[in-house]
Structure 1
């Protein structure tokens, strides 16, 4: 109905009936955590989905980034080069890994840090960074080959924050890709994350770090870690979510195409490839310059929820206002124009029409 607010996001995890067969297996084994059989099966299916030889499951996507940086960052260096335009969890993960965020700009075309921007930014700071954290924009696949070449040229380790891109990742190499399995992601399990790579030595260390650093000898803490595991119950939800994933991805593709049809000929644009080459749970449009406030006013008047999913940049948060930064004028100009639209299975044709009328 016209007077009802259109919600921006309504997550959906597997229903009880889909999870129940896996829960019964837990009752049979009486293994509830500590890398149990459902955990192992979920790992195997993640490897199959992404093509990664090695997977570490973590308690959430932020922890995945933290652990990957702790293993990969060059010792004796302080900075982690990262885009300011990202969800704030990225900056917190950098700090939790013992590094200092060094914020740089992004491409207005891809919404991401590119190797070219990173190379230019290397001259902006007083020392070489310990690592670069490359963020995938809302589920788009990162350019793995370009960043492998960057690392080879500059001897600066690269880690990918591919939080929403678990279904878009393929061809992962030794540079780890960290994904989120939060309820708001395409493959959502409630809360969880994973580190994907082809580096089995890195995988051995990051997996040990999720269980108090036990490595080699039983119950001997060889490296510093913590308790970052998922339970068998979480793995059960993950396996049920895997079962439903093909249908879910088709549904998201169909919804994206419904938006594309309605917005054809308008001034807004989508991210490259969304709905065709990859899918997302947070569909964004980029509106033309100087139209963002009018667009937001129309959405509000029509009772359409919207989001700046990443805010206006990490440098706008008080907790990170004083960290080193390069020129961020591109981020300042871009962030307000990236608007998250309602995107979930509860949207009707009338809802989509109402939303489309608000966009330039």
Structure 2
């Protein structure tokens, strides 16, 4: 995230920069200005993602400066920082991302960055203009790394064969094995003709979509096909790399954890329900869940109860039958002194486990809840 800071007080700038770069992380301050007019002149050249702007400055009103900056660079988000709360309404009339009081506190600043992250399109960043092939939820192509487009397949069989080849990219897939999988009911000669036709349709779709990085070549002695992706990146692979590079959760990288979790836009090829993709689908789901639980443990250890509740609700949305998550939420609501929250969680869990799965809530969860009720709720 590229940030530009504007404040007529040098010490205020240094404090904000230290919080953003050293305490939170994931933010690069590309410009720091005490002169508001110099900042305005530089904003288009520097192209910041987010601008932290003091409202009360000599020479020009910060609200007016924010208006001019939005005209100059509409894509940048404005955050007003001031010691006076009387400007809040005017600030939000300018469509500001946020409004925070001086001196900025770490937790409050983290919420601002979270709001920034939520305001951005949930597209994996691979670099400016780099194309990306999406496999979360459904197959899509991002030619410029920004705007996804659906691939137009001649037949559902062509779509699945391409997805299967992509799943096994860089490996030679035997033609006989492909026939057995996709056309088991046909005679070999006729099935081969269907295979050749479908491969041709895939190549045509890739050509018409402008995807020239992907190649489907015949294997040794033309016994099979091998699909290669060249320098084209897959969102699932890039997401896994990002997750594995996160390190241990801390105040410095909690925002990076949250952003990485946001980038998981749906299960692997889930819209199609391909059985052969189930192992990878479960692998990625499990990786998301383990990452979310690591961050939750960090939140709970540091008594960030509101953040932990919000995160557990996200986990529950993706894993509605996870009893550990429901139990965790009940314990968090107990910390907040919210008995109705506890009862609602238990009721919802019972509805899902007993009503939908026709099973029983585990003894562990039942025992905890019953002991809590006996203690007076």
TM-score bracket relative to the smaller structure: under 0.3
Structure holding more helix per residue:
2
| Greater RCO (CA < 8 Å, at least 6 residues apart) | 1
- Determine which structure has more spread, i.e. the larger CA radius of gyration: 2
TM-score normalised by structure 1 residue count: 0.28
